[in-house]
Structure 1
């Protein structure tokens, strides 16, 4: 099995809630056990943020959202799951007890992962009867956006379990990396701990404030790390001679007394209050939920930028997003004919997300083109021009467009787009799209496009194959019975 068919999440806090959202938005049913009296509210708020983020992240067709069930007992939650994610508080005794209970109640073939950020898997699996299927699966917050999962096996974890975990994470857009040896805090948190320790000393010694320190990170090396990490960044810093020159030039600095990594700052009440007060001032009155939404919007922007890196091939986490979207497009197609081609085809349903609006809260001009482009893509998938078809070397290219802005789409507004085929022949596809306010059916904008069927390798227009052309003409024939839409055939500047 290379896909997760059903997941169970034990614990629904910050990390557990993120796992739940990641699974649900990948179309996976999730059973949850969390005795916290407000678990349903907390998880619901995390899912709401995740849905807003995904609306900005991708236009690819997500699968139907999985079913979320809160269970009365842990045993009930894990009974039918093939991936079980434990995310209870970071206390060894508590986790051991919970994992032993999961182990006793889970299916024999279920994988059991722990979200621990530092406890050793060998210690955690001590009381399990089937420790070979247990591993640490340490994600990063927010789990529904950041794709990395550190996979760490214990002494009794089988190699097959780690490989199975890597394979099952890929279809939900995550990258599992195998940490070869178990050490406390693994890799990511060791790096973060080193930076955190230095940061605390800098605040303690009044070198800077927490806001200044954060600015140093986010306006400089933080931007580099987002796309290239540490070693590749320093390779570039070595110039044409690369990493060896960098190490030779800057290696001696390691002996200088710059760092306090071997010292532990005393987190006394005074320092805690100092950091807490500066942090409150830095937040400027923004709530945690507001900060989470800002964080998500920023991460989406970075991921989208990285998706276009390396000449459009994608880079780093953006390449992973691109591959995830390709799988969504491949799985989201497959229709051969619409249910009712005797009326305009309602092909795109969406909401105006925060990333789509200008300073007035109105949808920006290029987003209209994006929605209309998505409508054309949906039509093409309907007639058989899917991802596999395009990868084989043929597609339809848009060669002419005319958009009319008749109303305003606003932040949070539900909108939908419908398509009417005006005419079609062997090479040309003439379409008219209408964007509506879903609540009122008011027309917000229209777009008229001419598309040509092309051989992308040859770079020229060619006749569409019979299978595609037959589907196009069947819809076109039905749409020929419809009234010509108002605005069809207009040109820029034409009086009404």
Structure 2
């Protein structure tokens, strides 16, 4: 698989737009084709939601956004692309025809991934001259937030394409699940379809409404599924003896005629009933409002799981760390660009500006990013070493509003291995205007002995070359300024 820098997207609907947002926010240039005349507007709407969610999910580690280009055809969209993601409607004839066109327009070493939710890759690659580079990469909505992507090859897919595609998705902050056996619907959708069929029967038979069914999931099993899934939950239900006891106790119930795994006929009457109940359930809230609510709830769940370093949260935590480490060079003779973020809605005060405490928040995050950069990680903290901030002086020079991008550049003014003197500059990225500065003094501490102590070589070996390189930089005019001093 070639080194990926540019992405070609064919299909810009819900899934294609979600892919565009995930790729763009990971710094890739993206070209999209979709016959919808409003595709650009819709893409930008989804991207705005994605940026809003990512600012909350991965605060302080936003990468420079890639460029978005709208193409006039599928062939134009993939021209020069290193990786192609096809997200056309679930029609095998359409996908086969377009995949063959894409295949003919690309170098043989560019991978083509299909977002199909259930069509077999063996069938999709049947008309391609290079079927070995076709792989399924089936994501879940919203693609820019949910980590899962099912990766499955067809009969002629090269094993290394499956392996490399899974690895590439991993760099995007996703959890690639390799489906080893080609099967209709893959894994996740087969499980979802079983639940969906039973839910439709409950509505058809008048047992429950769409809202009552959703309540049964979101107030119960759905909360557990977000971190343990089905089998591990049932293992716990078996008590100390575990799964074997659970199966012996509840297994006989599987023979009872509780469920209907064959879907009911989707008659006009059932369609009308489901649609009307769904309208009632939405209570007049628009699709876009529901999307933002969904995103906020997902961010909250994923962030909580990230604190536990478990399930999908472990993927988020690892991706945050990976983003924080991209594009940096130790000893670079320029202020370190270690922290980028976006002004979130809850950062705004009664004047409509970013509230005062969030300036300190941004500078604190930038300091943490610097410490991580020189090796002060979880392992180091657990060993008993840390830096404590003992003094901070902030100058407020400008305003920021909701949605504004922010970046902090950090200059090291000096260090003797125990003290660390920093100067941060906070810039509004849309116009490169400096809106605040902060000068900080940190002290290295032995947390076991509860006293200041020199940092060990593992830290100073990374710290001191940066200090030496920054010694050649002009000293900030405001460095050393006391409160109330004239602004020069």
TM over 0.5: yes
Paired residues for 1:178-189 under 5 Å: 178-189=178-189
**How far off is 1:455 after superposition?**
6.9
Question: Residue by residue, what CA displacement relative to the aligned partner does 1:391-434 show, whole Å, maximum 9, x if unpaired?
Answer: 69897522546698999976445666676878754301255768
Instruction: Kindly indicate whether the alpha-carbon contact (under 8 Å) linking 2:392 and 2:441 is maintained by their aligned counterparts in 1.
Output: no
8 Å contact kept, 1:333–1:386: no
Of 275-284 and 476-485, deviating more is: 476-485
CA distance in 2, matches of 1:347, 1:107: 36
Query: Which of 388, 403, 406 is 1:398 aligned to?
Result: 388
CA contact (8 A) 1:118 1:186 kept: yes
Quote the Cα distance in structure 2 between the aligned partners of 1:364 and 1:214.
38
Q: Is the 8 A contact 1:413 1:437 kept in 2?
A: yes
Instruction: State the Cα deviation string for residues 416-475 of structure 1 (Å, max 9, x = none).
Output: 66768787543012557687888898978x877542235789987324637634644775
Retained in 1: the 8 A contact 2:87–2:115?
yes
SS in 2 for 1:327: helix
Going from structure 1 to structure 2, the CA distance change for 1:448 and 1:73 (only over 3 Å counts) comes to: closer
Q: Name 1:493's counterpart in structure 2.
A: none
Count of residues in correspondence between the two structures: 477
Tell me the distance in 1 between the aligned counterparts of 2:231 and 2:271. 33
| Residue of structure 1 in register with 2:419 after alignment | 428
SS, match of residue 136 in structure 2: strand
Counterpart in the other structure of 2:288: 289
Tell me, which stretches of 5 or more residues in structure 1 are unaligned? 490-496
Shift in alpha-carbon separation, 1:126–1:208, aligned structure 2, 3 A: same
The residue number in structure 1 matching 2:78 is 78
1:262-281 equivalences under 5 Å are 262=262, 264-281=263-280
Residue number in structure 2 paired with 1:494: none
Residue matched to 2:442: 451
CA 1:127–1:244 in 2, change beyond 3 Å: closer, same or farther?
Answer: same
Post-superposition Cα deviations, 1:336-362, rounded to whole Å, max 9, x if no partner, equal: 3564x7xxx997554321365699988
Higher deviation after alignment, 222-231 or 70-79: 70-79
Deviations 1:211-247 (A, max 9, x none): 2221221121111111111111111111111111111
1:424–1:473 CA contact under 8 A, matched in 2: no
CA distance in 1, matches of 2:232, 2:179: 19
Q: How does 1:173-252 map to 2 (within 5 A)?
A: 173-252=173-252
- Kindly indicate whether residue 320 of structure 2 is the aligned counterpart of residue 325 of structure 1: yes
Q: Find the counterpart in structure 1 of residue 453 from structure 2.
A: 461
Secondary structure at the residue paired with 2:113? Answer: strand
Structure 2 alignment gaps of length 5 or more: none
Q: Measure the CA separation in 1 of the matches of 2:476 and 2:438.
A: 18
CA apart distance, 1:26? 1.3
- In terms of mean alpha carbon deviation, does 72-81 or 287-296 score higher? 72-81
Is the contact between residue 448 and residue 488 of structure 1 (CA under 8 Å) also seen in structure 2?
no
What is the distance in 1 between the residues matched to 2:313 and 2:161?
27
CA distance in 2 between counterparts of 1:461 and 1:483 reads: 25
- TM-score between both structures, scaled by the size of structure 2: 0.85
Q: 1:80 to 1:408 in 2, by over 3 A?
A: closer
* Conserved? CA contact 2:152–2:182, under 8 Å: yes
Say whether 1:91 aligns with 2:91. yes
The 1:273/1:487 distance shift into structure 2, 3 A limit, reads farther
What is the TM-score normalised by the length of structure 1?
Answer: 0.83
Retained in 2: the 8 A contact 1:372–1:447? yes
Q: What's the offset of the Cα at 1:163?
A: 0.9
Could you tell me which residue of structure 2 aligns to residue 37 of structure 1?
A: 37
> Is the Cα contact below 8 Å between 1:84 and 1:113 reproduced in 2?
yes
Matching residue within 339, 361, 370 for 1:370: 361
Change (3 A) 1:255 1:483: closer
Query: Structure 2 CA distance, aligned partners of 1:94 and 1:287?
Result: 31
1:353–1:222 distance in 2 versus 1, CA, 3 Å:
same
> Mean Cα displacement is larger for which, 418-427 or 138-147?
418-427
Within 2, Cα distance between the matches of 1:389 and 1:472? 23
State the distance in 1 between where 2:351 and 2:193 align. Answer: 42
* Distance of 2:411 and 2:109 partners within structure 1: 50
Query: What SS does the aligned partner of 2:266 have?
Result: coil
Report SS of the residue matched to 2:17. helix
**Quick one: distance in 2 between partners of 1:165 and 1:474?**
39
